[in-house]
Chains A and B, each alone.
Chain A
Amino acid sequence: MMDTIEHDIIIVGAGGAGMRAAIRIAEENPELSIGLISKVHPVRSHTVCAEGGVAAAIKPWDSEEQHAFDTIRGSDYLADQDAVEIFVKEAKDAVIELEHWGCPWSREEDGKMAVRLFGGMSVKRTLYAADKTGFYLMHSMFERSLQYENIKRYDEWYVTKLLTDEKGINGLIAIEMKTGKMAIFNTKAVIMATGGAGRIYAHSTNPTINTGDGMALAYEAGAALKDLEMVQFHPTTIPNGNLLISEAARGEGGHLVNKKGERFLKDYIPEFMEVGPRDLITRAIFEEFRKGNGFEGPNARYVELDIRHLGEKIIKSRLPTIRELSMTFMGIDPVKKRIPVTPAQHYFMGGIKTDTDTASTVPGLFAAGETACVTIHGANRMGSNSLAECLVFGARAAAAASAYAKKHHIRPPAEKQIDAHQKEISRLLKDTGKEKTAEITHEMRKTMEEYVGIVRDEKHLQKGLEKIKDLQERCERIEISDKSMVFNTELTQLLELKAMLTISEGVIISAIARKESRGSHYRSDYTFRDDSNFLHHHLIHRKENKTAISKTPVVITKWQPSERKY
C-alpha cells in the first residue's frame, strides 16, 4: 500500500519559480504547509545555468512603459499586454527583494546595482551578477528558504501523475527515487514550476532534466497548453555540446562575424546589430549558413563571436563563465581568439495556459516560470525577461494558490485512479519488446531538429508529425532491463520520453496551424506576419483521447500591432 502525505499546497519543481513561490507562501502564510517536490536537488535546477541577467526598469533613465513596449515589440505582438504590464511593474520589487536577501548583484563604482544592455532592449536595463546571475539567484533563494520550517522539501521525487476529480486537482502521485517507493500526496492546490522541454531537440542549451514533464502532466490532467510552436533558438552556443554563450557577451559589445570577416548583421538589423532580438539574429546566422558564409566545424557550422576588443579586464570580471566555457570546451581563450558560435534551441515561450494570476484551466492547478505561458514572451522572449518572469509569477502563483487553498478542503483522491496508475507503472516495468528508450529519444530529437527547426514549412511539419506519431506508437514496445525501483533512471527516462513525445506532437500541431511567420516561428511558405488571421494564441488540449487545437485572442491594451522594426 502506498503512503499518503498531506500538504495544503504542493509545488512541483524547485527551480527559480518554484522556490520563489515556496518562499512567498511561507512568508505570508506560515500556517499553510508546503510540499516542494523536485526530481533533482533544488540547486541542480536549470535556473543555475541562466547567465545574462534579470530585466527590471529600476534605473532613472528607464520606465515601466518602455520595458513593456520592448517586451511586446520583441514578442512580435503576441504577448498579452495586460500580463506584460503587471510583469514590468512587479519585476522592480522582485529584484530589490533579492538584493536584501544577499544576492550579490554586480555593482557600479558608486555601489549601486549595475545594469547592462541586452538584445532588443532600448536602454540598459538588465541587472546582473557577473555572468552567473541565475546561479546566484537560485542559491540565494535556496539558502533563504532554509529558514522556513513549513517548507517540506522532497528532493529527487519524480511526479508521475496529477490526480483530479470533477472539482479539479486533489493530489498527485510521486516516486521517491532513493527508495523506489511510490506515495500519494493529498493537497488543495498544485503549482507547476517544472521548466521547459528543450530536450526534445538534438541541439539544445538545456540541461538533461528539461524534458517537459510538468507540461505533459498538466496536459494529461486536462489543462490546455498554449503557443507551443513558439520555440526560441539562441543564436550563440558553443558547437561542442551547445553550451550557452550568454547574450551578455553581445550586450557588453561583442561582434558576430562570418567567414569573410564581416559583421554580417549590418545586412539584417543595421540599427541594433548584435543587440537585436534573438529570433532575428538566429535567422540571420541561419541565412549566412545558407549562403555559405559559415565556417565548417566538426560538430556543426558556425560563425564567430569576437569579444577581444573588450579587453582582458572586462572579460574576466563580467564574463568569467563564458571565458571558462570556451577555454574548457573549445580550447579557445576569448581574450586572444574569436569564439565559434552556432544557434541551438534555448527556451519554450509556450506552456501551460494560465491567466495573469497563474491559474490554469484546471481548478486548483497553477503554473509559473518557463513551464507556464501567461503570455509575456509571445512569439519571442527578450533576453533576461525569463528570470524576472520566474520571480514575478512565482510570487503571484504563491498568492493565488494560498488564496485557493484557504477556500478549499482536502478531497481524498479516488482509489480507482490510483490503482489504475499503479498498474500502469508496473506494466511499464514488465513490458517486453524490442524497442529502446535511447533509440527513440535520439530519433525524436533528430526529427524535431530536422522538421521543426529554425525554418519550417508545411511539408516538413506534416512529415515530422507522422514520424512523432510513429515514435509514440513504438514507445509502447519498450522493455526496461532494470527491474528494481531504486533509482531506476531507466524508468524515469521512459516517462520523460513519453512526456517529450506529447510535447513534440503539440509543438508540431500548433506549428502547422500557424500559417504565418511571427517571431521565432518562421515558415518559408508563409514568410510574412498575418495580423488579420493569426493575431491569436493556439491552445492544445485533450479531447476524447485526441489532441485538439483551438484559438484564443491576444489581449491588447495600449500598443496596437505595427511593423516590428529594429
Chain B
Amino acid sequence: MSKNIKIEIKLYNPETEQISWREFSVPTSAANTILDALDYIKNNGYPSLAYRSSCRMGLCGSCAAIVNGKHVLMCHTFCRDQKQPIKIEPLKNFPIIKDLITDTDDVMNKFRSVMPYTEIQKRHLSKIGETVQTTKQRKKIEQSSQCIKCLLCYSACPVFGHNKEFIGPAAATLAYRYSADSHDKIGSKRIESITGDEGIYKCTFVGECSKVCPKNVDPASTLQRLKVMGVLNSFKKIIE
C-alpha cells in the first residue's frame, strides 16, 4: 500500500559551511509521519542526516521543524496531509548546527530569568502536608502549564527574530503559569523580572506564536495578560 513521495530537506554542512537542498524519495503509507520518513532516509542511504527525535508522541518537543512553510512537530504531522514535494527546514531565528538541528541553548537559558518556581527555599518539611488547591484555582494554570518547550513560538516570533534579547513567548508563558499558581510565593518579584528593557512590553502582538503552538498554550494572550499585570504591579509599587 506504500507509495513513493518526494521530500526536500534543507541541509547544512558545518564542515563546508554550505546550505543546500536535497531531494529524497521515500516509500510511505497513510500511517507514516514526517518523522518516520526522516528515519527512513537516515536508515536507507543517507545515514549522516541529523535531526532530533525522542518520544514520537508530541510530548517531548524535540522534533520541531518547518514543514512546507508551517511550524510543526514532525511526529504529529502526516505525510499524507502534505503537498509534494514536502519541504523540511530547521527552525528559524536559531543558529543552525547541522542539517535540521538548531542551537537552542540561549533560549533555554531565558527560562531561568523568569523565576519559574513557587518559592526560593531550601527544603520543604513535609510536616506542612498536603495543601488544598480548588479545581477553580487549578483551572487557571491548566492551559499555560501545557507548554512542552519545543520553541516553535520563538521560531515564529518576528520580534525575537529581530532582537534575540527579547524574553519571548514561552518564557513569558512560564512566568504567567507560576504567577497564576495558588502555591506561588514570589509574586511581584517575578513580574518585575519580566517587565525590564527586553521584557514583555517588547511584544507587539503579532499573534503567530499562538497559531503555531502545538499544545494550544496561547502565549499571545498570556503576554497581553502579563502586560496588564505588569501595569497593575507598577501602580501598586507607586502607592506603596
B-contacting residues of A (Cβ < 8 Å)?
27-28, 40-41, 43-46, 48-49, 58, 92-93, 96-97, 99-102, 104-107, 109-113, 132, 135-136, 139, 143-144, 146-147, 155, 178, 207-209, 240-241, 243-244, 298-299, 321, 324-325, 328-329, 436-438, 442, 480-482, 484, 486-490
Contacts and interface: CB of A to CB of B under 8 A. Distances in A.
B59 interface: yes
B123 A110 contact: no
A329 B149 CA distance: 22
Contact of A43 (B57, B97, B148): B148
A109 to B, nearest CB: 7
Contacts of A113: 130
A482 B48 contact: yes
A500 to B, nearest CB: 15
Nearest to B132: A111
A199 to B, nearest CB: 11
A110 B98 CA distance: 52
A298 B31 contact: yes
B117 A135 contact: no
A171 B54 CA distance: 27
Q: Which of B55, B58, B98 has the most CB of A within 10 A?
A: B55
B59 A49 contact: yes
B185 to A, nearest CB: 10
Contacts of B42: 438, 489
Interface string B118-147: 101011101011111111011001100101
Contacts of B122: 27-28
Contact of A49 (B13, B57, B103, B138): B57
B221 to A, nearest CB: 19
A93 B125 CA distance: 9
B115 interface: yes
Interface stretch (B18-26, B105-113, B197-205, B230-238): B105-113
Give the contact-size bracket for chain B: 35 or more
Given A100-B124, A109-B135, A112-B130, A147 B115 contact: yes
B10 to A, nearest CB: 15
B171 to A, nearest CB: 11
A48 B59 contact: yes
Contacts of A241: 31, 56-57
Given A99-B130, A135-B59, A486-B97, A155 B105 contact: yes
B240 interface: no
Interface stretch (B152-160, B161-169, B176-184): B176-184
Contact of A107 (B49, B51, B99, B138): B138
A43 B149 contact: yes
The 5 closest A-B pairs by CB, nearest first: A438-B43, A482-B48, A111-B132, A143-B116, A93-B126
Given A48-B60, A111-B134, A143 B54 contact: no
B182 to A, nearest CB: 9
A203 to B, nearest CB: 13
Given A100-B124, A486-B14, A436 B47 contact: yes
Given A43-B61, A107-B135, A178-B103, A100 B118 contact: yes
B60 A102 contact: no
Contacts of A104: 133, 138, 141-142, 145, 181
5 contacts: A28-B122, A132-B59, A139-B147, A178-B97, A487-B101
Contacts of B183: 99-102
B32 to A, nearest CB: 9
Contacts of B123: 27-28
A97 B126 contact: yes
A101 B50 contact: no
Given A105-B133, A207-B60, A487-B99, 6 more contacts: A102-B184, A107-B134, A111-B137, A112-B130, A112-B132, A487-B98
A102 B178 contact: yes
B116 A146 contact: yes
B225 interface: no
Contact of B108 (A41, A482, A489): A41
Contacts of A486: 14-15, 97-98
B54 A209 contact: yes
Nearest to B178: A102
A489 B56 CA distance: 17
A135 B61 CA distance: 11
B60 A43 contact: yes
A143 B117 contact: yes
A111 B133 contact: yes
B207 to A, nearest CB: 24
Contacts of B130: 58, 96, 99, 112-113
Nearest to B151: A41
Q: Which of B60, B174, B178 has the most CB of A within 10 A?
A: B60
Contacts of B138: 104, 106-107
A438 B41 CA distance: 11
B92 interface: no
B108 A490 contact: no
B36 to A, nearest CB: 8
A44 B52 contact: yes
A437 B47 contact: yes
Contacts of A49: 55, 57, 59-60
